[in-house]
Every structure is written in C-alpha cells, then in structure tokens.
Amino acid sequence: MKKFTLSATIAASLALFAGSASAQVNLDAVLSIDGTAITTRAPAPDFLDIDEVISGWVYRAKETQATQMDDFENPAMLFVDQAMDDWNRVDGSEGKSCASCHTNGPEEFAGLRAELPRWDADRGQMMNMEDYINYNRVTYMGAEPLKWAKPRMDAMVALISLQSRGMPINVAIDGPVADIWAQGEEIYYTRVGQLDMACANCHEDNFGNMIRADRLSQGQINGFPTYRLKNAKLNSVQARFKGCMKNIRAEPYAVGSDEFRALELYVASRGNGLSVEGPSVRN
C-alpha cells in the first residue's frame, strides 16, 4: 500500500501544475460542426478595450472540444431531439403545437438567435428567446408558459438557437435598448458578493488564466444554451449568471429579472462577431 506523505502530495500537485502547463490554450484550434464553419475569434466590438473576442470553446480541453464538433457526439443534441418532439406536441387550450403555425419547421427561425435579446416594437419591450417562446405559447396555443432555466424550456431554446448556427452574433446596443445596455454594462463591472468580484475581474482581466482548477474564458454566451460536463445537462444564460454570482458568494439576481435581462443583452453584445454555435459543450 502506498503511503502519501505531505511531500509526496506536494510533489504530486507540482506535477499536476507541470501537467496543466502542457494543456495550454490553443488559440489556433478551428471549430467546424458537421461542415458548418464556426467563428471562434473575432475583432472585439468598439466599446471593448480588448482586441479580440474569443469563444469559450477555445478554452476547453481538446476532448471537450471534440465532443462539440459532431452533432452525434454532442450530448446537447439529445435535448434538441426532445425539443423537436415538444415542437410537434399539441399543448394548450387551442389544440395546437408549435408546428401548427410554424409549418416550415424550426428552420423558420434561422437568424433569430443571432439577434437576441432585441427590442420588439410590437411588444414594447426587449425580448429574449424565452420571452418569445412563452409569448407565443400563451397567446396562440393557450398553453402554460414554460419555466425558465428548466429542461423543457432550455431544450426549446437550444432547438431554435441551433437554426442560427454559424451566423455572427449581431445584437443591437443602441436605440430603444441603449439604457438597458448601459445598465448591463454597469452590472458587468460592479464588484459584488463576499468575494467582491465583478464579471470583468475574471472574464476580462483574466481570461486564459486558471481559476483554481478551471480555465477561465471570456464568459461569452454565443454557445448558449450549453451542455456542461459538470451537470450533464443544458444550461441557460441566466442560470449560469446565477451560478456565477453564487460562486462569488453574492446574492444572485432572479432568473428573468431586469438585472439579468440587462446583463444578458450586454454580455451578448460583447460577443458580436462570434458565431452562434448551437448548443455547445463546456466544462
């Protein structure tokens, strides 16, 4: 039986450091998913001080990256399949399914994910994917709204996001959303919580570095909803915001709150130019 002395443990940990040095980030790795080219690096939008925006895919281990390169390998697609069943399922007082109105399938929504969140003049408010799904369910299907950050909603968001795969994120930050965007920007740079950290401290000041045993990314959301290896399920943008806030021991804003909506707009715009990845795979 091996005995683990303190020095042996330290040596093992140092060896792990050496090992992680060999798992460097490969900025030149190329992502193509079943033939669709994905832009994982793009010139940063004007309002940012950094030169380049980089997808979270680039920061993951090569085995994780490989899992996303093929729609069969990607476990997120299991949930897209489930959402397809949901798409065809009659739900609500009007006896309709999504398919009843959207007769050309989810393909009708090519381009939508790339623009969200966006101001909707008819609705008189900023809408994200969850908002659109529920608005249509309630109004046209007479169905119950789906709960955000729960499997059924996350799967549907993934199905519709998939239709914009490869298209550049192009979220408007001016006009009717200008104030919301400014609020989101302020939240991003405000330190909160017991650990007194802002989003920017990790995702702007330290992307590419390790935080404990994790490789930090820029915190982009072009790959959301994402299948995380950690919880083996789809994760939505605002669920992840909540998780991040809890990690720094702050009282998180509520999923669906004005704060998270503003933050979602701002964070989406930080990735303008990166491709929508369809549901991605992350740690």
Q: What distance, in Å, lies between the first and last C-alpha atoms of the chain?
A: 34
Q: Nearest-CA neighbor of 283 among 208, 228, 203?
A: 228
* Residue 79 lies near other proteins (rule: CB under 8 A): yes
Residue 180 CB, nearest distance to other proteins (Å)?
A: 26
* Residue 77 lies near other proteins (rule: CB under 8 A): yes
Closest CB to other proteins among residues 36, 247 = 247
* Residue 208 lies near other proteins (rule: CB under 8 A): no
- Quick one: which segment of 48-56, 134-142, 243-251, 269-277 binds other proteins (CB under 8 A)? 243-251
Any idea which residue has 């739900």 for tokens?
91
Q: Nearest-CA neighbor of 130 among 110, 143, 149, 109?
A: 149
- Quick one: which segment of 37-45, 48-56, 182-190, 211-219 binds other proteins (CB under 8 A)? 211-219
- Quick one: which segment of 45-53, 68-76, 168-176, 184-192 binds other proteins (CB under 8 A)? 68-76
* Residue 200 lies near other proteins (rule: CB under 8 A): no
Identify whether 244 is a catalytic site residue: yes
Closest CB to other proteins among residues 42, 155 = 155
- Residue 283: HSE in the Cβ half-sphere, 13 Å Cα cutoff: 12
Residue 23 CB, nearest distance to other proteins (Å)?
A: 5
Q: Which amino acid is at 233?
A: K
Tokens of 173: 């930050």
- Quick one: which segment of 47-55, 60-68, 119-127, 140-148 binds other proteins (CB under 8 A)? 60-68
Residue 204 CB, nearest distance to other proteins (Å)?
A: 14
Length of the chain: 283
Q: How many residues bind other proteins (CB under 8 A)?
A: 49
Residue 196 CB, nearest distance to other proteins (Å)?
A: 15
Closest CB to other proteins among residues 84, 167 = 84
Residue 84, number of CB atoms within 10 A of its CB: 17
Question: 82, 136, 170, 257: which one contacts other proteins (CB under 8 A)?
Answer: 82
* Residue 221 lies near other proteins (rule: CB under 8 A): no
Site for other proteins in 146-185 (CB under 8 A): 151
Diameter of the chain measured on Cα atoms: 71
Question: 17, 35, 107, 175: which one contacts other proteins (CB under 8 A)?
Answer: 17
Catalytic residues, by residue number, are 244
Residues that bind other proteins (CB under 8 A): 1-2, 4, 6, 9-10, 12-14, 16-17, 19-20, 22-23, 60-61, 63-64, 67, 72-73, 75, 77-79, 81-82, 85, 151, 202, 209-216, 228-233, 243-244, 247, 283
